[in-house]
Amino acid sequence: MKVVVVGASGLIGSRIVRALERTGQEVVEASRETGVNSFTGEGLGHALEGADVLIDVTNSGPFGEGDALDFFKQSGKNLLIAARSLKVKHYMALSVLGVDRLVENDYFRAKMVQENLILSSGLPYTIVRSAQLFDFFNSVVNAYAVDGIIRLPSLILQPLAVDDAADWMAKIAVGSAHNSTIELAGPEESQLIDLARELLTASADPRPVEIDPFATYFGVELAPNGLIPNRKILSGQLTFHDWLAGTAYA
Ligand SMILES: NC(=O)c1ccc[n+]([C@@H]2O[C@H](COP(=O)([O-])OP(=O)(O)OC[C@H]3O[C@@H](n4cnc5c(N)ncnc54)[C@H](OP(=O)(O)O)[C@@H]3O)[C@@H](O)[C@H]2O)c1
pLDDT tens figures, 65-113: 889 999 999 999 999 999 999 999 999 999 999 999 999 999 999 999 9
The pLDDT assigned to 66 comes to: 82
Residue 112, domain member (yes or no): yes
Q: Name the residue of 18, 32, 40, 75 whose CB sits within 8 Å of the most ligand 1 atoms, as the mutation to test its pocket.
A: 32
Q: Are 55 and 62 in contact (CB under 8 A)?
A: no
The pLDDT assigned to 247 comes to: 85
Rounded distance from Cα 23 to ligand 1 centre (Å): 23
Percent of the chain with pLDDT over 90: 94
Rounded distance from Cα 86 to ligand 1 centre (Å): 23
Residue 189, domain member (yes or no): yes
Residue 217, domain member (yes or no): yes
Residue 249 pLDDT more than 70? no
User: What domain count does the chain have?
Assistant: 1
The pLDDT assigned to 81 comes to: 98
Q: Name the residue of 14, 18, 28, 31 whose CB sits within 8 Å of the most ligand 1 atoms, as the mutation to test its pocket.
A: 31
Residue 49, domain member (yes or no): yes
CA atoms of 56 and 44, how far apart (whole Å): 12
Residue 248 pLDDT more than 80? no
Look up the domain containing 171 and give its range: 2-245
Rounded distance from Cα 107 to ligand 1 centre (Å): 13
Average pLDDT estimate for 211-228: 96
Q: Residues with beta carbon inside 6 Å of ligand 1?
A: 6-13, 31-33, 36-39, 57-59, 75, 94, 96, 111, 130, 132-133, 136
Residue 250, domain member (yes or no): no
Rounded distance from Cα 69 to ligand 1 centre (Å): 14
Residue 147, domain member (yes or no): yes
Q: Please give the residue that has the higher pLDDT: either 125 or 63.
A: 125
Residue 231 pLDDT more than 80? no
Q: What is the CATH number of the domain that holds 74?
A: 3.40.50.720
Residue type, 106: D
Residue 250 pLDDT more than 70? no
Rounded distance from Cα 10 to ligand 1 centre (Å): 5
- B/e letters for 159-175, b = 16+ CB within 10 Å, e = fewer, are bbbbbbbbbbbbebbee
CA atoms of 12 and 1, how far apart (whole Å): 20
Residue 226, domain member (yes or no): yes
- B/e letters for 141-156, b = 16+ CB within 10 Å, e = fewer, are beebeeeeebbbbebb
Residue type, 31: S
